[in-house]
Structure 1
Amino acid sequence: MAKAFAYTTSGLTLLAKFVREVFPLVDQELSVWQRFATNHGVRELADQALASINTKKFHCQGGSVYSLYKGVPTRDFVRLVVALQTISDYLDNLCDRAGIADEAAFRQLHLAMTDALDPDKPLNDYYAAYPFQDDGGYLSRLVTTCRQEIAKLPAYHLVKAAALGQATLYSELQTYKHLAPSVREEKMLTWINRHLPDYPGIMPWEFAAATGSTLGMFMLCAAAYNPTLTAREADTIASAYFPWINGLHILLDYFIDEAEDRLTGDLNFVSYYEGSQDTLTRLSYFVQQARIQANTLPESDFALTVIDGLLAMYLSDPKTDPPAERAIRDSLLRTAGLYPRFMYGLCRLLRKKNIL
């Protein structure tokens, strides 16, 4: 009971600091990139940059929880999270919202993700295969900002391979998932099946979901602030996040978007489940596995709070209010425990106040 109380208390303290201190820092960082995009580059690229900031701010807010990890300088880490997540969101818009479906162009664009995490490499020409190319230096500056913050991490050499590995998988996912519907599923399954034997216990589209999260990259970078981090700890973090915590993150994201994606024809990994009961079973399984993995990590209370936060943030979205989604939401919350249900209620309140 004492352990549970300490975990709950630390989680509430973290949540209060997150909203009071971190959210304003995220706003400050995003305003820098918003001004830059407004004043630089051709209109087509500037419009997509601004749209990604305006509609996907919550991605930066969520990822910035890692700025509260033990030993991490909050302001510096928010800068890293916002820059890396803004790369991700901007490239997603370029691949998904600009009427382009070119595999070579998508692959070249996403070199920015791996370049951002690999300060030893020269920068690439990210727009070499893309129809619009003059962004006024926006994407390169985002990459360089990430590198500047990564240079401050004393143990980055221990997490670099895992962070780059996750960034590479993320980039491969984005390259394939935005292709024309007539070819994307076959291309994705060919790619997934090359990796799936290494991850027993998960389904093909669950693997794809796990590759779509940036949380593992953020956690590895946060851990690298610890100068006494060991290689074993770095490996434990990497395997906890991929596929389990990463997978839970993106499966929840796709769960709340499933009805919307069905109407628009967008690819949705949760749609591959065989009905509501299968969806509930697999989401519950990922929650369970994520919690098991969290308990193996340094600062396990922090990891458990992140998992509870994912449940609260996604399940509090109004998209879970229709009857079918509500039944799954309520079942997940019933089994999650008292504290996640409290966080869920708080997130509903923050949404009403337009803070989330």
Structure 2
Amino acid sequence: MAIPTKPLSLMRHVFKRVFPIVNEELSYWYERAKQIPNDELRKQAIASIEKKTFHCEGGSILSLLGEADYKKIIKFIVAYQTISDYLDNLCDRSTSLDAIDFEQLHLSMKHSVTVGASPENYYCFRKDQNDGGYLEELVATCQSILEQSPFYGQIKDYLIELCQYYCDLQVHKHVTIEERESRLMNWFQKQKQWIPKMEWYEFSACSGSTLGIFCLVSYSFRKDFPDIPFEPIKAGYFPYIQGLHILLDYFIDQEEDQTEGDLNFCSYYSDSEHMAERLVFFFNQAEKHIQQIPHAGFHRLINRGLLGVYLSDLKVAKKDERHKKVVKQLLKSGGATGYFFYWNRKAYEALKKWKPVGSGIKVST
């Protein structure tokens, strides 16, 4: 199976190969979530699948880098992303604001990328406890796939590093409103010597994506992995592709986050022009690093696809003229490929309204 480098070829693979397996995996976890004994944990687990299916679908596109092993890789991606979305719900929409609780919950994510790590009681600092083994099974699934990767040992440290960034972010941004900014700023001060020049809220955004992990896991199943230059992949995905990914996510959610009182990293830009300038910068830096990565055509589709997919979201249509100018500027940067994914996503979302996918899963973003 050749790695696609053209939009139409990619979409054929996505609809024919990737999405059906994603839905099979999600259907299993959905049924598993419905069996959770604790009411609150069950509610959040079900909601995380019903409302965030798009995360698993998008992330699983990177499985195509693994060619013949893409089904195994999708199994890992869906399990890992399901943990991420479930824990995000538990921190964001549930019963706790305790940093220690959040750290313990996210220990499960670190165990997911650490083959041989023994499970713990990830809920020990919260009142809701009994998930019927749901989270532990998700962790074990991730470990079982990584154990089959021929080159897991070469990517392990970097998987843990990216995972740690993500976990730290989740802890800092979900504590009490009064603590969030100072915790994130202090965290950034300790990390900024290791990363390219940016603002604290941009670093936070870069830390919030799982795409780098999915890319590396997919590559680690390839026989030619030892011949693939590692550094450009790392530098391209973290910070730039991951940063673009999450900044776009926050861009479309600005009004919703303001209503809910949630932290939104795009709100820290001085105005819409500044925000557009920085988002274009992240896009262009990603394009620059992609030139040095094998299968550059595929990674370029991922980068440009992010623009089309996020900017086609229904929330964008409700934005004011200033923000619509940002959308036009960003889409222009993505060129014809960006526009292709923009219209493709609109068509796909219209179709999904009429066709629920999976076993009882109402697919939505």
Instruction: Confirm or deny a common fold (TM above 0.5).
Output: yes
Please, which of 118, 121, 134 is the counterpart of residue 122 of structure 1? Answer: 118
The alignment partner of 2:73 has SS state of helix
Q: Say which of 174, 177, 189 aligns to 1:178.
A: 174
* AA partner of residue 166 (structure 1): L
Structure-1 separation of matches of 2:31 and 2:42: 10
| Paired residue type of 2:181 | E
Residue 28 of structure 2 corresponds to: 32
Q: Pick one of 162, 187, 194 that aligns with 1:191.
A: 187
Amino acid of the structure 2 residue aligned with 1:339: T
Matched, 1:110 2:97: no
Equivalent residue for 1:3? none
Q: Output the CA distance in 2 between the equivalents of 1:123 and 1:313.
A: 36
Match of 1:347 among 330, 333, 345: 345
CA distances 1:195-248 after superposition (whole Å, capped 9, x unpaired):
012223211111100100000000010110123323872333122111111101
Cα–Cα, structure 1 residues 147 and 310, in superposed 2: closer, same or farther, change >3 Å?
Answer: same
Q: 1:252 aligns with which of 238, 248, 254?
A: 248
Superposition pairs of residues 136-175 of structure 1, within 5 angstroms? 136-175=132-171
> Structure 1: which 5+ residue stretches go unaligned?
1-6
| Further displaced range: 222-231 or 18-27 | 222-231
Look up the match of 2:37. 41
Which residue number in structure 2 is paired with residue 325 of structure 1? Answer: 323
After TM superposition, give the deviation of residue 324 of structure 1 in Å: 2.8
Measured at CA, do residues 75 and 9 of structure 1 come closer, stay the same or move farther in structure 2, by a change above 3 Å?
Answer: closer
- Cα distance in 2 between the residues matched to 1:17 and 1:148: 25
Of residues 53, 56, 64, the one that matches 2:60 is 64
One-letter amino acid of the structure 1 residue matched with residue 146 of structure 2: I
How many angstroms does 1:10 deviate by? 2.7
Post-superposition offset of 1:186: 0.7
TM-score normalised by L of structure 1 = 0.95
The Cα shift of 1:9 comes to 6.2
Aligned partner of 1:4 in structure 2 is: none
1:240-279 equivalences under 5 Å are 240-279=236-275
Report % sequence identity: 37
- Normalising by structure 2, we get a TM-score of 0.92
Residues 11 and 302 of structure 1 are in contact (CA less than 8 Å); yes or no, is this contact kept in structure 2? no
- SS of the residue 2:8 aligns to: helix
Which 10-residue stretch deviates more, 188-197 or 100-109? 188-197
Aligned length: 350
C-alpha displacement of 1:141: 0.0
Measured in 1, the distance between the counterparts of 2:88 and 2:261 equals: 16
2:178 maps to a residue whose letter is S
Mapped to 1, the partners of 2:43 and 2:227 lie a distance apart of 42
Question: Aligned-pair distance for 1:253?
Answer: 0.4
CA contact (8 A) 1:8 1:339 kept: no
Displacement of 1:316: 0.5
Q: Report the alpha carbon displacement of residue 153 of structure 1 after superposing the two structures with TM.
A: 0.8
| Structure 2 runs not aligned, ≥5 long | 354-363
Q: Distance in 1 between matches of 2:289 and 2:68?
A: 22
Deviates more, 1:192-201 or 1:154-163: 192-201
CA distance in 1, matches of 2:257, 2:344: 27
DSSP 3-state at the match of 1:282 = helix
User: Separation in 2 of the partners of 1:9 and 1:103?
Assistant: 43
Compared with structure 1, are the counterparts of its residues 307 and 9 closer, same or farther at alpha carbon in structure 2 (3 Å cutoff)?
closer
The whole-number CA distance in structure 1 between the counterparts of 2:168 and 2:237 is 18
Decide whether aligned partners of structure 1 residues 42 and 9 sit closer, same or farther in structure 2, where only a CA change above 3 A counts.
closer
Amino acid at match of 2:329: S
Question: Aligned Cα RMSD in Å?
Answer: 1.6
Q: Which residue of 2 aligns with 1:17?
A: 13
Report 1:85-104 matches (<5 A). 85-104=81-100
- Mapped contact 1:72–1:222 kept (Cα < 8 A): no
How many angstroms apart in 1 are the aligned matches of 2:115 and 2:332? 45
Counterpart-to-counterpart distance in 2, 1:227 and 1:12: 27
Higher RCO structure (Cα 8 Å, ≥6 apart)? 2
